[in-house]
Amino acid sequence: MAARIIHFTVNGRPEQAEFPETCPAQDVKDLFRSAAEAGPHDILKLYNPKGNIINISPSLEPDACYTLEVVAADCNSEPLASNGICEEKVYLCDSRLQSLERKLQMEAGETPAVVHEMKKQVDSFREKLEGVEHLSWLGLFKDLSDETHKPSPFYHKRALHKTRKECERVREAFVQMSSLEVSEDVRQYLKTPTFDNWQWEDAEIMVLLQVMYTDLEFISTFNMEPEVLQQFLFEVYRRYNNIPFHNFKHCFCVTQMMYGLIWLTDLRSRMDSMDLLIMLTSALCHDLDHTGYNNAYQINARTELALRYNDISPLENHHCAVAFQILEKAESNIFRNLSVDRYKRIREGIIKCVLATDMMSHNEILIKFKAILPTFDFTNKEHKDVLMMILIKASDVSNEARPLEVAEPWLDCLLQEFYNQSDVEKLEGLPVTPFMDRDKVTKPSAQAGFIRLVLLPLFVELANLFPCLEQHIIDPVRKALDYYTEMEKQNRPESGAQGEDTCGGGHSPPTANQTAEPAAAAQ
């Protein structure tokens, strides 16, 4: 069978095709398509030496020299010029190849790995959102209720405040109970750090707070009227929000630890009752109207509080301001029978104590305390001020000094509040606080780090001044450290195995930055 050889150039490159004379026209076309490296959707143009477009067919002349051109089906691509090699042509060719590659990738259904990874992260975040009730307005929350929520810029403030009904119920129960005598056993138990807050209802807790004011003889010493104290306690109860951690029960625990420390260290024999009144009332008020989002969030989200307080301890300033709003009302002003001078001193003391609970100033206060320890003098006002700040700070973070059954649920509550914040930070595109990120923090490693780096150094200094705390506070805290260190080991995959990196590397102690508020709270 006679073969025909046709000469042509494609992209300036000389080529020759060979096919039998009886070859079907389609085969010849396919042959030219291959020579031009053209895709199935590309258009081929064949020019004869005169420059006219002709059909690609078996009857092409062997002696002539043809020119083949490829036109991309993609109308954005320009046809390739046919004569000579120049930079422009190479560029066009390259961009055509890229567009072809993209098309091929899409047609072949090949999704790049990075897209897979992003999809996984989006799916997992959606799953998390589906479980967050207060974000239900997003339409993702998996709940049977058919209530429709509208998007609101204040969604994180939803269902935060106590309802009127809830408050009335607790107030009635409290007023009824407050006339009952609290047994001597309970009064003694209330003075110990082993006290279990989880056994008591809110109204009962208010009675216990009343017992503290009574047994420290504040009512008689400061001429407090029982109804005013009750109204004050009720207002305090009312202004703590329904959030996982910084709620009324936390306020009670901190106040109860302060009360316990006063008795354990026999502070009544070393400080005057004004100072004790300042400390107990500060503890009671120290987290008023906390919304469950820390200072870093307030500042990054430019909340009303951050704007009002110019980013300076917005939360603590707010807690304190709410306390004095309550005290501004005569019916709930427990200091209303005190002289102006005494009220001034109390106000100054409460402000100092509540602002000291901002963990941003943790190191500063601890350093001051260490410096005065060797010459500590209970008659020195500056020394006393630092001690009062250290005592409220210690009470505030003292959960781990309590029995394990009491302390562990508190840690779960705190992590719930932290995780919620980081979820909202992700949703709002704000910087995510690392120790609050549920993808980065594990309970045992975070808490072991916190105990080692924050709790023990604080309590050890305090025990230098009050040696009895070694037994009542430091021992249980060390037990908790062992407990979480052991849990951390159990959680950790066998050494050598590839495991999740948790909170700054499970094998080395996490840095204070990742586990504690002091450094991490910095923006």
Contact set with Zn ion (CB under 5 A): 287, 396
Q: Provide the 8-state DSSP code for 136.
A: G
Query: Which structure tokens are listed for 514?
Result: 């990742």
Q: Coil, strand or helix: which one is 30?
A: helix
Question: Among 353, 397, 424, 481, which residue interacts with ligand BYE (rule: CB under 6 A)?
Answer: 397
With binding defined as CB under 6 A, does residue 512 bind ligand BYE? Answer: no
The window from 149-157, 271-279, 443-451, 471-479 that contacts ligand BYE (CB under 6 A) reads 443-451
Question: Among 216, 276, 392, 516, which residue interacts with ligand BYE (rule: CB under 6 A)?
Answer: 516
Of the candidates 313, 90, 329, the residue with the CA atom closest to the CA atom of residue 227:
329
Which residues are identified as catalytic?
246
Residue tagged 């609101």 (tokens): 152
Concatenate the DSSP letters of all residues of 289-302 into one string. Answer: T--S--HHHHHHTT
* Residue 220 to residue 197: CA distance in whole angstroms: 27
With binding defined as CB under 6 A, does residue 484 bind ligand BYE? Answer: no
Residue tagged 């704000």 (tokens): 430
* Residue 406 to residue 196: CA distance in whole angstroms: 6
Angle at 331 between CA 330 and CA 336, to 5 degrees: 45
Question: Among 195, 309, 450, 466, which residue interacts with ligand BYE (rule: CB under 6 A)?
Answer: 450
Which is nearer to ligand BYE, 222 or 418 (by Cβ)? 418
Q: Whose CB is nearest to ligand BYE?
A: 446
397 binding partner (options ligand BYE, Zn ion, none; Cβ < 5 to 8 Å by kind): ligand BYE
Question: Among 435, 466, 483, 484, which residue interacts with ligand BYE (rule: CB under 6 A)?
Answer: 435
Which is nearer to ligand BYE, 450 or 483 (by Cβ)? 450
Concatenate the DSSP letters of all residues of 489-509 into one string. Answer: HHHSPPTTS-----SS-TTSP
Task: Give the CA-trace dihedral at 399, 400, 405, 408, to 10 degrees.
Answer: 80
With binding defined as CB under 6 A, does residue 458 bind ligand BYE? Answer: no
Which is nearer to ligand BYE, 300 or 447 (by Cβ)? 447
420 binding partner (options ligand BYE, Zn ion, none; Cβ < 5 to 8 Å by kind): none
458 binding partner (options ligand BYE, Zn ion, none; Cβ < 5 to 8 Å by kind): none
Which is nearer to ligand BYE, 10 or 444 (by Cβ)? 444
**What angle do helix axes 475-491 and 456-465 make, rounded to 10 degrees?**
170
With binding defined as CB under 6 A, does residue 243 bind ligand BYE? Answer: no
First to last CA, the chain: 84
With binding defined as CB under 6 A, does residue 346 bind ligand BYE? Answer: no
Question: Among 60, 206, 446, 469, which residue interacts with ligand BYE (rule: CB under 6 A)?
Answer: 446
With binding defined as CB under 6 A, does residue 515 bind ligand BYE? Answer: yes
With binding defined as CB under 6 A, does residue 320 bind ligand BYE? Answer: no
Write the CB contacts of 517 (distance below 8 Å, at least 6 apart in sequence): 294, 359, 360, 362, 435
Per-position x/- string for 83-122, each x denoting binding to ligand BYE as judged by CB under 6 A, each - no binding: ----------------------------------------
The CB-side HSE value for 325 (13 A sphere, CA atoms) comes to 12
Edge to edge, the sheet with strand 3-10 lists: 13-20, 3-10, 65-71, 43-47, 53-54
3-state helix, strand, coil in the chain (%, to 5): 60, 5, 35
With binding defined as CB under 6 A, does residue 254 bind ligand BYE? Answer: no
- Bridge partners, 53 (sequence order): 47
Which is nearer to ligand BYE, 325 or 511 (by Cβ)? 511
Size of the site for ligand BYE (CB under 6 A): 16
Q: Coil, strand or helix: which one is 311?
A: coil
Which is nearer to Zn ion, 447 or 502 (by Cβ)? 447
With binding defined as CB under 6 A, does residue 213 bind ligand BYE? Answer: no
Interaction residues for ligand BYE, span 347-386 (CB under 6 A): 359
Query: Which structure tokens are listed for 349?
Result: 């003391």
With binding defined as CB under 6 A, does residue 473 bind ligand BYE? Answer: no
Per-position x/- string for 135-174, each x denoting binding to ligand BYE as judged by CB under 6 A, each - no binding: ----------------------------------------
Q: Where are the alpha helices (DSSP H) in 140-182?
A: 164-178
Smallest distance from the beta carbon of 286 to Zn ion, in angstroms? 6
Which is nearer to Zn ion, 396 or 408 (by Cβ)? 396
With binding defined as CB under 6 A, does residue 205 bind ligand BYE? Answer: no
Question: Among 414, 432, 462, 512, which residue interacts with ligand BYE (rule: CB under 6 A)?
Answer: 414
Q: Coil, strand or helix: which one is 367?
A: helix
Of the candidates 461, 443, 462, the residue with the CA atom closest to the CA atom of residue 510:
443
Residue tagged 């909170």 (tokens): 503
Smallest distance from the beta carbon of 446 to ligand BYE, in angstroms? 3
With binding defined as CB under 6 A, does residue 447 bind ligand BYE? Answer: yes
Which is nearer to ligand BYE, 205 or 446 (by Cβ)? 446
* Residue 311 to residue 291: CA distance in whole angstroms: 16
* Residue 103 to residue 440: CA distance in whole angstroms: 38
With binding defined as CB under 6 A, does residue 288 bind ligand BYE? Answer: no
Residue tagged 């506070």 (tokens): 473
8 Å CB contact between 490 and 506: no
Residues found near ligand BYE in the complex (CB under 6 A) = 359, 397, 399-400, 411, 414-415, 418, 435, 441, 446-447, 450, 515-517
